[in-house]
Amino acid sequence: MQRFIGFDVGGTHIKYGVITEEGEELFSDEYDTPEDEQTFRQKWQEAVEKCQRDQDIAAIGISFPGHINPHTGLAAKAGAVDFLDGTNLLELFGELTDLPLTVENDANCAALGEQWRGAGRRYDSLVCITVGTGIGGGIIVDRDLYRGAHFRAGEFGVIPVGNGGETMHEVASASGLMNACRKALGVSEEKMPHGKEIFDRMDSDVHLREAVNDWARFLARGVYGVISMFDPQVLLIGGGISEQEKLYPLLDRHLQTFEQWDALNVPILPCELGNQAGRLGAVWLAKRKFAEKSS
């Protein structure tokens, strides 16, 4: 059975693991994201060598933030790893290993991972919206990624959904929720309750309930717009906020107020794989590329 290395590069941590062609993770580890290119190269190469010690590795798949051209490897923007803006990632990683490589945007990889092994495995076409510090997303049509003409498809965070034209990044993200709730509670960032506590307390705190309700309405506007554009079989929501059961009735209540929702209605489900989705999706792409080269 073939084995692959999957990397998920984030702004805070880099997670990686050895994953079989069936999607079973045999080993995983992580390290803090370096703040300069030289250390980034060194740590990445050490992680690959660690995975290769007792494993015969076929290829490497890398999930990476930013605007990535998967064909050329150019990262026009590298997201939180901004010291690699404008870098050709296939060349960078290719200098550090002889193994075949793929590199793809992290939200796209998360969507592929969920389709391969997670909440989207029964569907051919889906949209995945990741709700974190910002808003990202991946679009899969007929079991293949839709990347867009400039490899920016799925940048849902720039959609204006606020009453004053604010973007999803600003008012529909997890950080948008925290900002709204902090103002409602009149507390500092240090004294803010965690996400689960916010949802637990909203029933007994009218100001908190109003803040969460407004945030859910903004998110519902974005969800409605995305579904109307792409007509997927299912919409998946990722990020820690997706684990809150109260989110889905809130979304549904707002979506029901939109004129065409009865016609557009599709299931809205939480992602299942958590932070494993990115490296699984990266491995799925590496596996496919390796199979094409071998045939």
Query: Rounded to an integer, what distance in angstroms lies between the CA atom of residue 38 and that of residue 250?
Result: 46
What is the helix (H) or strand (E) element at residue 30, kind and residue range? strand 25-32
| Position 170 confidence tier, pLDDT thresholds 50, 70, 90 | very high
Number of helices (H) and strands (E), helices first, in the chain?
Answer: 10, 13
Distance from CA of residue 153 to its chain's centroid?
13
Cα distance between residue 116 and residue 278, in whole Å: 11
User: Which is nearest to 267 in space by CA: 246, 252, 247, 245?
Assistant: 252
Q: What is the 3-state secondary structure (H, E, C) of 66-80?
A: CEECCCCCEEEECCC
pLDDT per residue over 219-255, tens digit each?
999 999 999 999 999 999 998 889 899 999 999 999 9
Burial 42-76 (b: 16+ CB within 10 A, else e): eebeebbeebeeeeebbbbbbbbbbbbbbeebbbe
Q: What is the pLDDT of residues 94-148, one digit of tens each?
A: 999 999 999 999 999 999 999 999 999 999 999 999 998 889 999 999 999 999 9
- pLDDT attached to residue 41: 97
pLDDT in tens, 60-70: 999 999 999 99
Q: Given pLDDT bands bounded at 50, 70 and 90, which one contains residue 196? A: confident
Output the pLDDT for position 204: 85
SS3 of residue 264 by DSSP: helix
Supply the pLDDT for residue 203: 84
Is 90 exceeded by the pLDDT of residue 172? yes
- For residue 256, the one-letter residue type is Q
The pLDDT of 142-160, averaged and rounded, is: 94
Q: Over range 260-279, report the average pLDDT.
A: 95
Instruction: Name the pLDDT band for 22 (thresholds 50, 70, 90).
Output: very high
Please, which pLDDT band fits residue 289 given cuts at 50, 70 and 90?
Answer: confident
Nearest 5°: CA angle at 89, between 84 and 92?
A: 90
Report d(CA 290, CA 295) in Å as an integer. Answer: 9
Render pLDDT for 24-75 as a digit per residue (tens, 0 to 9). 999 999 999 999 999 999 999 999 999 998 889 999 999 999 999 999 999 9
Which of the 8 DSSP states describes residue 90? H
